[in-house]
Amino acid sequence: MENKTKQVLVFRTDLKEMTTGKAIAQGSHSVLKVFFDRIDREASKDGKLVMTGIRDYEYHWIFGIFRKISLGCKSEAELLDLLSKAQAADLPCALITDAGLTCFDGKPTNTCISIGPAPEDQVDLITGHLKMYKN
């Protein structure tokens, strides 16, 4: 059976100063943040991490093929709108805000989001109109 679960990373294309390396780092942060945001420190026993709210399709994605797609959006407003739609649809998602330590003139900057892993048809309702990200 084909895996119909995916994770989409959406990067701002208006950030011309974002290098390929910076984009890779930001996307990597977003992939992990989707899960790290659900670590339950209170339920942790013997120093072991306990993650809450992992859905069946996320579990199968973790132990499956990790399908990811990188897409681009044109502005911070569009990025935040996509995030809001993912949150309203109760999809796993994460926003990454770069601290500005190495670029962006020292200003914290929203660079990318992750949506999913989630069922492909649900993710596509939000991101299906976007084009592949090109840096």
As a whole number, mean pLDDT of residues 69-96 equals 98
Alpha-carbon gap, residue 99 to 86, rounded angstroms: 23
If pLDDT is split at 50, 70 and 90, which confidence band does 1 have? Answer: very low
Q: What is the pLDDT of residue 2?
A: 53
Alpha-carbon gap, residue 57 to 19, rounded angstroms: 33
Among residues of the chain, what percentage have pLDDT more than 70?
97
Q: What is the pTM of this model?
A: 0.91
Q: How many CB atoms lie within 10 A of CB 90?
A: 10
The amino acid sitting at 113 is I
Q: What is the pLDDT of residue 47?
A: 74
Residues 6-56 pLDDT 10s: 999 999 999 999 999 999 999 999 999 999 888 876 777 777 778 888 899
Q: Are strands 109-119 and 131-132 parallel, antiparallel or unpaired?
A: unpaired
Ordered domains of the chain (ranges, CATH): 5-132 (3.40.1490.10)
Contact 17, 79 (CB under 8 A): no
Residues ≥6 apart with Cβ < 8 Å to 37: 94
